[in-house]
A and B are shown apart, each in its own frame.
Chain A
């Protein structure tokens, strides 16, 4: 028995050391590394569900909604979960297609990630967030999905806020649209990342883009406990989401509607017109009351994923690029509307404001003959008449004289270039700084600009001057030789600022390009207090409970280089355009006793196309409150297309033919009151 006992003693040691080993290891796992495992446990056991904040609405100055939220039952699909299934979720999608009454193929397309070679519909957002499939689901359909969750794993049906546009296609480009955020955007915008919920949308254009952060609010977080299968067991922690701010704009829904109608009519009446824009500015504040662009589209098509057909139309040249706002992105030669700058340049350069000027039918500029419109001379006239009747030769002469004083083709060391410099001082050639994305700067040509252009293009021009245009020669030998001569000219003397170019600039032709918005800002400065304001669509951001208000004012960004006397003189002259000048026909029968309209027509020639039709105007002429600029691309003469549209806009604002959009011609000045529950007092 001794041997047995001895061996049992050995066993005792073995048992003791095993128990000790377990104890030591437990200490290591639970005490030393415990906190580490506790973190790991939290990660496996909980899921953070982000509760998107309700996006703030966009209101007009009177508190009417321009963009609001409607609650919708949205069905979305968790792609990651479908992919885990053996058949890639094909059966689930098939069932879903049957419930929604839509082809399964379309559903499959909608959840594909967008990328090169993938046509719409596709999913541009994060692959880890649910993909909305349908946002117009009936409660019955939603119930079918929710009650049979075992048949629809990875399919969610929930109430979400969806953007709604009461104006329809009105001001679509200005308001912008929402899209799921892309990975690149997340990387680029750090503030977005901090606040981003993973499921909500980001403003992609217009006001939605510029004021995205304020409108978005702060998402809430719900940390739920889940089991191994991902089933939710309960809520561990919850922070409420904070709704986005309310954006109150200077816009007026009524005026906007009038503008859209006027542009639509103008497009219809000018058969070749391929685009139109209108800007209505508040002269006193720099606020944008309406901003129209044609062709347009209904931003509702973005909600719930855009269809292939719609997306292609938005991006198609043939459909006129309806996504692009011609008010801020359209660049056109301004034609005679530019003469407010040219007159100012003359006054700055010492030409007498009340002098007499010869207006012949044609004027010889360095060997080239420049004709008046229709070649009609008016004898000796004053600047007032030159503006009212739009005499070009007065400006040709002044531009030519200025050009010669600067040294002509061999410029002096510091040429004064009054026409170019004044145009820049009127805000042309640079962005207005409006609160919209992607505005274009336009172009003001001059001696410096020519040199830069030449430096950038001379290599190509010289190459073409040698080789010619064989590809054009096959079909059009005449044009090919013309192009070759042009290339040679550009190569040898492309840096020269020619007299003809100076003359063209003075009447808003040639290389000068402006946006309708720039012209409106310049006119507002001219007929207002002489200050250039960076226009603002937004008027104020109000917290969702109405307690905190952050007002947004249009900042003064420049001062016109002409004194008050000159400005008043020009305004007085333009005030007669609608009665005695180029727009008299368009405004025939307009009740000038109710409100007198001033303005300037413009007809800009475009190579190979119809003229661009302009009308830049203001009202009331005596103490202007509104500036209205209308452009009809390929619309023909200013007096024929743009001026009638502007008239229609004024009629709407002042209620000449019906109810006034802005009774008494006064924009709404006081902010609409927001109640604590977020509703608007009107």
Chain B
């Protein structure tokens, strides 16, 4: 930003730090909660990865911190952009994310840890377009469904069809990877958008039946990989196959349960040190919290996540326009779903699905997507308050 910018347009920096800036009017409670979760996540990632490379115990955690910094910057940029810009660029964002998803299923895509959902950028960096598809779809659906049938608060039928199409394309591409967990998140996001857009209850029920039928079809037609079926049945009875599919579930329960009330202390969790829980720095990061910080620490993490969700809901309710409410509601449903599925699977009340824990799990693209979503919420918050 040069000083040559005319007086009609104030510089980004000025806008960012000025008295009317969103920085002063942001939802501080939510940001503090997210920051706290970032710090806790950093410690947990550190603890779970420090034994990987004996020479450099902080290798992974350094990358995680870098991801967080980028994520917070993205959050700030998104918040500063404001709702109108977001709405205006929603189709572009959605289109770019679709291109990303398409790229994954071309030879550009790579398989990491058994999931074919990556694009390698070189230099040890990689992006996971399916993570970015989550906020993109939310923005796209918000934009499409923002205008109601005039005089009512029901969605216009054409918008509905377009919205379902947009969701369907994204979900289909993710299914091709295949990424069962992200597909479910996208389904939840779509359902949330439909519901908040004011779809009649009977249609909501109809969509629900459709979803169930789809799930049944997937199951009956054998579209799921055997390991996915095994994970689901292992959730129902982990003791059935403790070394195979039930292993994750059993080990994760042992790690969390053995933390008892006060935990074993950071870096002192034997299960974590011994790497008994697979994918512990990503999908099973919560087990580190459970083992090393105990019930008190784990419940604190849950409470922090609860604060983020409730503050987000508050923003959604305070939105003056349908776009804002739809987007904020979508983001909250997304986060709530992932939080419940992720923590639920580690404590044995949900089947094991590859879904990371927002703000805590290691993972660059997921962190960026989460922080962009927080930025979106903040933008909406600022917007509400500015009226």
8 Å CB interface, A226-260 against B: 226-228, 233
A1 B258 Cβ-Cβ under 8 A: no
- Give, as a whole number of angstroms, the nearest-CB distance from A16 to chain B: 8
Cβ 8 A contact of B340, one of A22, A37, A44, A228: A22
Question: Of all chain A residues, which has the CB nearest B329?
Answer: A8
Query: Within the assembled complex, what's the spacing in Å between the Cα atoms of A9 and B310?
Result: 11
A228 B276 Cβ-Cβ under 8 A: yes
B290: chain A residues within 8 A (beta carbon) = 26, 29-30
B273 at the interface (CB under 8 A from A): yes
B271: chain A residues within 8 A (beta carbon) = 41, 44-45
A233 B258 Cβ-Cβ under 8 A: no
B198 A3 Cβ-Cβ under 8 A: yes
B325 A4 Cβ-Cβ under 8 A: yes
8 Å CB interface, A111-143 against B: none
Asked if A4 meets B322 with Cβ closer than 8 Å, knowing A225-B274, A227-B275, the reply is yes
Asked if A25 meets B349 with Cβ closer than 8 Å, knowing A7-B195, A8-B317, the reply is yes
Cβ 8 A contact of A22, one of B196, B313, B344: B344
A33 at the interface (CB under 8 A from B): yes
B70 at the interface (CB under 8 A from A): no
Cβ 8 A contact of B299, one of A9, A23, A37: A23
A194: chain B residues within 8 A (beta carbon) = none
B254 at the interface (CB under 8 A from A): yes
A27-66 Cβ-contact flags toward B at 8 Å (1 or 0): 1011101111110111011100000000000000000000
- Give, as a whole number of angstroms, the nearest-CB distance from B265 to chain A: 14
A80 at the interface (CB under 8 A from B): no
A18 B313 Cβ-Cβ under 8 A: no
B302 A34 Cβ-Cβ under 8 A: no
A606: chain B residues within 8 A (beta carbon) = none
Query: Within the assembled complex, what's the spacing in Å between the Cα atoms of A2 and B320?
Result: 10
B319-337 Cβ-contact flags toward A at 8 Å (1 or 0): 0111001100100110010
Interface-centre pick from B253, B295, B321, B333 (highest chain A CB count, 10 A): B295
B295 A40 Cβ-Cβ under 8 A: no
B202-227 Cβ-contact flags toward A at 8 Å (1 or 0): 00000000000000000000000000
A98 at the interface (CB under 8 A from B): no
Asked if A41 meets B302 with Cβ closer than 8 Å, knowing A15-B310, A34-B259, the reply is no
Query: Within the assembled complex, what's the spacing in Å between the Cα atoms of A47 and B322?
Result: 60
Question: Of all chain A residues, which has the CB nearest B263?
Answer: A30
Q: Report the contact-size class of chain B (Cβ under 8 Å from the partner).
A: 35 or more
A44 B251 Cβ-Cβ under 8 A: yes
A592 at the interface (CB under 8 A from B): no
Question: Of all chain B residues, which has the CB nearest A27?
Answer: B295
A36: chain B residues within 8 A (beta carbon) = 257
Cβ 8 A contact of A15, one of B153, B196, B261, B332: B332
B273 A33 Cβ-Cβ under 8 A: no
Query: Within the assembled complex, what's the spacing in Å between the Cα atoms of A45 and B270?
Result: 7
B347 at the interface (CB under 8 A from A): yes
A18 B255 Cβ-Cβ under 8 A: no
A228 B256 Cβ-Cβ under 8 A: no
B355 at the interface (CB under 8 A from A): no
B22 at the interface (CB under 8 A from A): no
Question: Of all chain A residues, which has the CB nearest B302?
Answer: A22
Number of A-B contacts (CB under 8 A): 149
Summarize A's interface: helix, strand, loop or mixed: helix
Question: Of all chain B residues, which has the CB nearest A38?
Answer: B258
B256: chain A residues within 8 A (beta carbon) = 26, 29-30, 37
Cβ 8 A contact of A25, one of B197, B260, B320, B347: B347
Query: Within the assembled complex, what's the spacing in Å between the Cα atoms of A23 and B195?
Result: 27
Question: Of all chain B residues, which has the CB nearest A5?
Answer: B317
B251: chain A residues within 8 A (beta carbon) = 44
Query: Within the assembled complex, what's the spacing in Å between the Cα atoms of A112 and B197?
Result: 72
- Give, as a whole number of angstroms, the nearest-CB distance from B28 to chain A: 20
B181 at the interface (CB under 8 A from A): no
A41 B295 Cβ-Cβ under 8 A: no
B306 at the interface (CB under 8 A from A): yes
A45 B299 Cβ-Cβ under 8 A: no
Asked if A11 meets B329 with Cβ closer than 8 Å, knowing A4-B196, A22-B344, A34-B261, the reply is yes
A301 at the interface (CB under 8 A from B): no
Query: Within the assembled complex, what's the spacing in Å between the Cα atoms of A27 and B197?
Result: 37
- Give, as a whole number of angstroms, the nearest-CB distance from A13 to chain B: 10
B322 A37 Cβ-Cβ under 8 A: no
A71 at the interface (CB under 8 A from B): no
B253 A37 Cβ-Cβ under 8 A: yes
B258 A37 Cβ-Cβ under 8 A: yes
- Give, as a whole number of angstroms, the nearest-CB distance from B312 to chain A: 9
Question: Of all chain B residues, which has the CB nearest A43?
Answer: B254
A29 B347 Cβ-Cβ under 8 A: yes
A14 at the interface (CB under 8 A from B): yes
- Give, as a whole number of angstroms, the nearest-CB distance from B316 to chain A: 5
Asked if A8 meets B347 with Cβ closer than 8 Å, knowing A1-B320, A15-B336, A227-B276, the reply is no
B295 A18 Cβ-Cβ under 8 A: no
- Give, as a whole number of angstroms, the nearest-CB distance from A40 to chain B: 5
A-B contacts besides A29-B290, A30-B260, A225-B274, 10 pairs, CB < 8 Å:
A1-B320, A12-B313, A18-B339, A19-B339, A23-B299, A26-B298, A35-B260, A44-B254, A225-B273, A228-B275
Chain B positions within 8 Å of A, measured between CB atoms, are: 51, 153, 192, 195-198, 251, 253-261, 270-271, 273-276, 290, 294-295, 298-299, 302-303, 305-306, 309-310, 313, 316-317, 320-322, 325-326, 329, 332-333, 336, 339-340, 343-344, 347-349
What are 10 pairs between A and B in contact, CB < 8 Å?
A4-B196, A4-B326, A5-B317, A19-B302, A19-B303, A37-B256, A40-B257, A227-B51, A227-B274, A227-B276
Q: Which are the 10 A-B pairs with shortest beta-carbon distances?
A: A37-B257, A41-B258, A34-B260, A30-B295, A227-B274, A19-B306, A45-B270, A38-B258, A37-B258, A18-B340
